[in-house]
Amino acid sequence: MIEFRGVTKRFPDGTVAVDALDLTVADGCVTVFVGPSGCGKTTSLRMINRMIEPTGGTILIDGADIMAGDAARMRRGIGYVMQQAGLLPHRSILDNIATVPMLLGWSKARARARAAELMEIVGLAPETARRYPNQLSGGQQQRVGVARALAADPPILLMDEPFSAVDPVVRESLQDELLRLQAELGKTIVFVTHDIDEAVKLGDKVAVFRQGGHLAQYDEPGHLLARPADDFVDGFVGRDRGYRGLGFRSHRLPLGELTTTSLGSPAVGNGAWTLVVDDASRPQGWCARRDGADGTAVTAEHLVPGGTLYDVTSGSLRSALDAALSSPSGQGVAVAGAGRVVGSVSADDVLAALASARAEEAAA
C-alpha cells in the first residue's frame, strides 16, 4: 500500500506542483493518475521512488516512510517504466532487462536467465536478445522497458506515460498486454497518463488531477463516467461519457435465438438475415435472405461481414450495445468460450437491462 499524507512539492522557483495530496493506492491494483499537463500527476508519481523529493508531508510504502534509508537501494525494489523507454543504449536487450537483478548482486548467469524468461513473458522474440535498443521499434523498446521494470519481481510498478510515444495501434496492443500481465502478476501499479480513455481502460481506480496539483476526483472508472464530481472532471472526461460508462456495467441480458447455417448449406429460417458459422460454430458472417432463398448453397461470396461480438463471459453492456448496433441484421452476436455462438442480443434488451440496473441501484 502506498499512502500520500499531505504531500506537497514546491519547486525552487516557487511553483507548487503538488499541493497537500492525500491519497492511498491499494495493493494489487492499477491506479491511474490522469489530468492535463501541469497538474502534478507525474511529479506525484516520481515522488514515490524519490526521483523528486517532496517538500512537505510524507509518503509511506507499506507503512514505512520512503525518506528513511538509501534512495538507490529503495529504487531497486520499485519497477519504473518511462515514456521514452530510456533503455541503456550501450547494452544489449538482454542486459538491459538484467540491469536491476545485476544491481541487486545476482550472478550474471542468473540475471540473464531471468531476463530471457521476461522477454518471453512480454512477447519479445528471443533473437532480439543480442540486439541493441536502437535496432528496435518504439513498441518493442517499450516492451523491453516493461520487462526491465519487472526483472527483479518488484511488488510495485511505476509507469510514467509509458505508451504515449507509440502509435495508436501499437498503444492499444501494449495496453491489452499490460492488462493480461497484470491479471497474472497482480502488481501494485501506479500509471500516469494524460489520456482519459487509457485511464478508464486500465485503471481499477482513477485519480483525476487538476492544475496546481489538486486531486479533483478519486474513484472507480465507472463512477467517474457516471458521476463526475464537478464541471472540471465532467469536461475532462469528455464527450460520450454516458456511452463509455456502459462499459463498466455488466448485467445479465436475455439472449435471443439465432438461426445459423454453414457454408455449403442452404440458408434457413424466416428472418431476412441468417448467420453463417463454421464447424466449431464460430461466426463467419451474415447472409441476406434472398441470396439463399432458392435453396442454393451459401458460398463465401454471399457473406456480409458481421459487426463486433458480445462476449457473454466478460462482456459489458457497452459491448452488447455495440454488437447490436454494428450488426447488419440488428441482432448482436453473443459468443462464449472459444468464440462459439450462443445467441443474439438486441439494442432494446440492452436499454431495458440498463433501466433495471438503475432501478436496482436506486433501491440499494
Partner 1 sequence: MNWGWIPRNLGLVAELTVEHSWLALLPLLLGLLISVPLAWLATRTPLARSVLVTATGLLYTVPSLALIVMLPLLLGLQILDPLNLVVALTIYTVALLVRSIADALDAVPSVVVAAATAMGYTPLRRFVAVEMPLAIPVTVAGLRVAAVSNMSLVTVGAIVGLGGLGLLFTDGFQRDIPAEIITGIVVVLVLALIVDALLLVVGRLITPWARTGQAAGRQR
Partner 2 sequence: MNAIVEWFTDPANWTGPDGVPTRLGEHLFYTLLALSIAALIAIPIGLWIGHTGRGGFAVVSLANSLRALPTFGVLVLLANSFGIGLAPPIVALVVLAIPPVLAGTYAGVQAVDRAIVDAARGMGMGEREILTRVELPNGLPLIIGGLRSATLQIIATATIAAYVALGGLGRYIIDGLSVRDFAEMAAGSILLALLAIVTDLVLAGLQRALVSPGLRPAQASRPRPRRLRAVA
- Specify the stretch interacting with partner 2 by CB under 8 A; choose among 26-34, 48-56, 135-143, 177-185: 48-56
CA 202, CA 181: separation in Å to the nearest integer? 12
**Cell numbers representing residue 275 in the block:** 448467420
Residue-level length of the chain:
364
Q: Which range binds partner 2 by CB under 8 A, 44-52, 148-156, 228-236, 318-326?
A: 44-52
Q: Is 50 a binder of partner 2 (CB under 8 A)?
A: yes
CB of 339 to partner 1, least distance (A): 40
Q: Residue 53 binds which entry of partner 2, partner 1, none, with Cβ cut-offs from 5 to 8 Å by kind?
A: partner 2
| Residue whose CB is less far from partner 2, 12 or 63 | 12
With beta carbons less than 8 A apart as the criterion, state whether 154 and 77 touch. yes
Stretch that binds partner 2, among 19-27, 47-55, 119-127, 343-351 (CB under 8 A): 47-55
Q: Which residues bind partner 1 (CB under 8 A)?
A: 49, 51, 72-77, 80, 82-91, 99-100, 103, 131-132, 134-135, 148, 158
Could you give the angle at the alpha carbon of 119 between the alpha carbons of 183 and 34, nearest 5°?
50
Indicate the helix (H) or strand (E) that contains 206. strand 205-210
Q: Which option in partner 2, partner 1, none does residue 237 bind, with CB closer than 5 to 8 A by kind?
A: none
Q: Which is nearer to partner 1, 88 or 325 (CB)?
A: 88
Residue at grid coordinates 435465438: 257
167 binds partner 2 (CB under 8 A): no
Binding at 329: pick from partner 2, partner 1, none (beta carbon under 5-8 Å per type): none
CA torsion angle for 116, 122, 124, 130 (degrees, to 10)?
A: -40
262 contacts 279 by C-beta, under 8 angstroms: yes
Stretch 111-150 residues interacting with partner 2 (CB under 8 A): none
CB of 70 to partner 2, least distance (A): 10
Shortest separation between residue 255's beta carbon and partner 1, angstroms = 50
Compute how many other C-beta atoms are within 10 angstroms of the C-beta atom of residue 249. 19
Q: Does 51 bind partner 2 (CB under 8 A)?
A: yes
Residues numbered 58-87 forming contacts with partner 2, rule: CB under 8 A:
71
CB burial of 45-77 (b: ≥16 within 10 Å; e: otherwise) equals: bbbbbbbbebeebebebeeeebeeeeeeebbbe
- Contact status, residue 156 vs residue 59, Cβ threshold 8 Å: no
53 counts as binding partner 2 under rule CB under 8 A: yes
Q: Judged by CB, which is closer to partner 1: 103, or 288? A: 103
Considering CB distances under 5 to 8 angstroms, the limit depending on partner class, which of partner 1, partner 2, none binds residue 91? Answer: partner 1
- State the binding partner of 153 from partner 1, partner 2, none, CB within 5 to 8 A by kind: none
Distances (CA, A) of 325 to 55, 60, 130, 201, 304: 53, 48, 48, 21, 15
Task: Select from 288, 282, 324 the least CA-distant residue to 303.
Answer: 288
- Applying CB under 8 A, the site for partner 2 has a residue count of 6
Chain residues binding partner 2 by CB under 8 A are 46, 50-53, 71
